[in-house]
Structure 1
Amino acid sequence: MSKITDRFTHFSQEPLYNTKAVVQRTGVAADTLRAWERRYGVPFPERTEGRQRAYSDRDIAIIDWLRQQTESGLTISQAVALLQTDSVIEQPTYDLAPLAELSNDCVQALLSFDVLKAEDILNKAFSVYPVETVCIEVIERVMVAIGDGWHAGKISISQEHAATAFMSLKLSNLIHQARTRSNRGVIVVATVPGEQHELGVMMVALFLMRRGWRVVYLGSNLPAAELLHTVQRLSPKLVALSATTKDNYSQAVQLLQELHKMPKPPIIGYGGAALSGTTQQTVLPGIFLGYNADQACDKIEELLA
């Protein structure tokens, strides 16, 4: 490849996997992989002494990304051009609305329980914009609007639950696609006990995976004892916790203190609306990671540099 986007530079280039393993991990057929290699030079696996293809983690990440782009509406030639230049050479055949308009359209689709339309809106956005941009500028905006509507009594519990379930599944699928072997180190990501809101912390886990970290995502409302046991077992470089609702503030404080008291404590980071005030940041053990997932990942990489 003549050029490659920075998003893949953290992945190992060591050739570890045969074609069968790559097919199992990416879902891309062996014939398709060979066709991409022959026509576009992507991927470009090394060869063993027996002339068998040997793929690296970086190859697998690129293949996964290409598959995602084609599933979202790009042709393979468009996806390869985007990969090699890091800019859109040829837009898809549809005209894409501004992100704010996409967010509004997605809100209306979800309030109408039209998940197919919401899926189509997100897929088109993902085909043009980076995953991180769509998560922050579309998914986050959508959920804030729906949350505000629910608090104002304009949106039913069923509508809010359906929208949350849809976005949670979407992020779960993205996390699954982003998983790969990594030598950068382990980061544990979770909410504090009692916290049910996990979309923001799911984005943190996703973004870190896309930056090449091995992320152990423990989800929402994990008992403190379980999280502490996992941290003791894995010895992660950093633990990132989130608390959104004020009702969970005391639980968050207690957990942060217990992590800090461990014999060999990891770096402790936290975020979420319940922990983002200036007062909290001065008294809580650990480091405030920022106000959104992108800021959190930048801060984490700064701490681990």
Structure 2
Amino acid sequence: MNKTETLDTHLGIAAVERDTGLPKDTLRVWERRYGFPQPSRDAHGERLYPREQVDKLRLIRRLLDQGKRPSKIVTASTDELTRMLGEERNDITNAAPGAAQEALLPLLRGHNSPEVRAVLQQILLKQGLQRFVADTVAPLNVAVGDAWLRGEIDVPGEHLYTEQIHNLLRSAIGARTGPLGHPRILLTTFPNEQHSLGLLMVEAMLTPEGAHCVSLGTQTPLADICNTAAAGSFDIVALSFSAAFPARQAVDSLNELRRLLPPRIAVWAGGAAMRGQERKLPDVRVLASLDQTVEALAEWRRAHA
């Protein structure tokens, strides 16, 4: 295989990560655990992924975003994945905010950043921060990703959407001028979890309620989480897990975190990887939806009145 042929028909692991949104470590774990993907190697021993495998990985990522478990889909055929995605799309179409989706997709295709921000800003002003996050951003995340999968928008278009949502939420959170109260909540993710939007959405739900949220960003080692939570007199540690994060690893790490933290510090966990894991996390508050973050906050305050 010559160099030109390789560039045309195969992608390196960094390019696959950018194209699919699946972390490199996840791709390597799946290769060992499930036998897929099956990359070839170049002259330097670096992984090279055929285009058809990358296409399948894109399907897998969309199904992960919709709550499917890796063990159920990674070994499925492309036809099976396409069928499952078609079934999920029917639910997404009913749930997605149609007007916002119709307004945004043409702008994302044209990479029109100012108008994308203007449309989102207008919806935010109408709905308020919490309803904007729960009722518009959450379903839009899925709808925009699905449009990317169908080829209706490209990777830069999807990244443009994500960046605008990040900027808008950070600005709205920063504009809150009310006093910072209790509880003090530490927001972060474990190592290998690179998705930060979930943390930002949780912060946007809790800040208007007067909670004092501090974000460490993503990929914080467990020991650093424990040290920061104790030294900073935090009341709650909240972690986010995308569907791409291995559920078993999340459960084991959360139980270890719970064991290491003082009993007075609560542990909350949410995100797609947490679905159905409540029984395995008896001492962790598992949040099944964004609205449940507000309910959990109210319960904590009642218990600590």
TM-score, with structure 2 as normaliser = 0.61
Equivalents in 1 of 2:177, 2:216: separation in Å?
Answer: 14
Equivalents in 2 of 1:271, 1:263: separation in Å?
Answer: 18
Equivalents in 2 of 1:146, 1:177: separation in Å?
Answer: 27
Aligned to 2:189: 191
Aligned length: 205
Kindly indicate whether the alpha-carbon contact (under 8 Å) linking 1:178 and 1:206 is maintained by their aligned counterparts in 2. Answer: no
Kindly indicate whether the alpha-carbon contact (under 8 Å) linking 2:237 and 2:268 is maintained by their aligned counterparts in 1. Answer: yes
- Name the SS of the counterpart of 2:242 in structure 1: coil
Matches within 5 A, 1:89-104: 100-104=98-102
1:168 and 2:166 matched: yes
Q: Residues 228-284 of structure 1, C-alpha deviation per residue, up to 9 Å, x if partnerless?
A: 22112123221111101343434422331222112513111111001112xx11112
Q: Residues 36-84 of structure 1, C-alpha deviation per residue, up to 9 Å, x if partnerless?
A: xxxxxxxxxxxxxxxxxxxxxxxxxxxxxxxxxxxxxxxxxxxxxxxxx
Aligned to 2:300: 303
Equivalents in 2 of 1:233, 1:125: separation in Å?
Answer: 39
Q: Structure 1: any 5+ residue segments left out of the alignment?
A: 1-97
- Name the SS of the counterpart of 1:189 in structure 2: strand
1:283 and 2:280 matched: yes
Closer/same/farther in 2, CA of residues 217 and 195 from structure 1, 3 Å limit: same
Closer/same/farther in 2, CA of residues 107 and 155 from structure 1, 3 Å limit: closer
Please state how far the C-alpha of 1:173 moved relative to its aligned partner: 1.3
Q: Residues 119-175 of structure 1, C-alpha deviation per residue, up to 9 Å, x if partnerless?
A: 211222233222212222222222211222334555432222222112111111122
Please state how far the C-alpha of 1:114 moved relative to its aligned partner: 1.0
Aligned to 2:133: 135
Aligned to 2:109: 111
Closer/same/farther in 2, CA of residues 257 and 245 from structure 1, 3 Å limit: same
Q: Residues 156-207 of structure 1, C-alpha deviation per residue, up to 9 Å, x if partnerless?
A: 3222222211211111112222265423230112223211222222111122
1:271 and 2:265 matched: no
- Which amino acid is 1:299 matched to? A
Equivalents in 2 of 1:168, 1:263: separation in Å?
Answer: 30
Closer/same/farther in 2, CA of residues 228 and 153 from structure 1, 3 Å limit: farther
Closer/same/farther in 2, CA of residues 111 and 125 from structure 1, 3 Å limit: same
Percentage of pairs with the same residue = 27
What's the Cα RMSD here? Answer: 2.3
Equivalents in 2 of 1:151, 1:213: separation in Å?
Answer: 37
- Name the SS of the counterpart of 1:210 in structure 2: helix
Equivalents in 1 of 2:192, 2:261: separation in Å?
Answer: 25
Aligned to 2:241: 243
Equivalents in 1 of 2:148, 2:121: separation in Å?
Answer: 26
- Which amino acid is 1:282 matched to? R
Matches within 5 A, 1:145-164: 145-152=143-150, 154-164=152-162
Closer/same/farther in 2, CA of residues 194 and 109 from structure 1, 3 Å limit: same
- Which amino acid is 1:142 matched to? L
TM-score, with structure 1 as normaliser = 0.61
- Name the SS of the counterpart of 1:258 in structure 2: helix
Aligned to 2:85: none
Equivalents in 2 of 1:149, 1:224: separation in Å?
Answer: 36
Equivalents in 2 of 1:199, 1:294: separation in Å?
Answer: 16
Matches within 5 A, 1:55-66: none
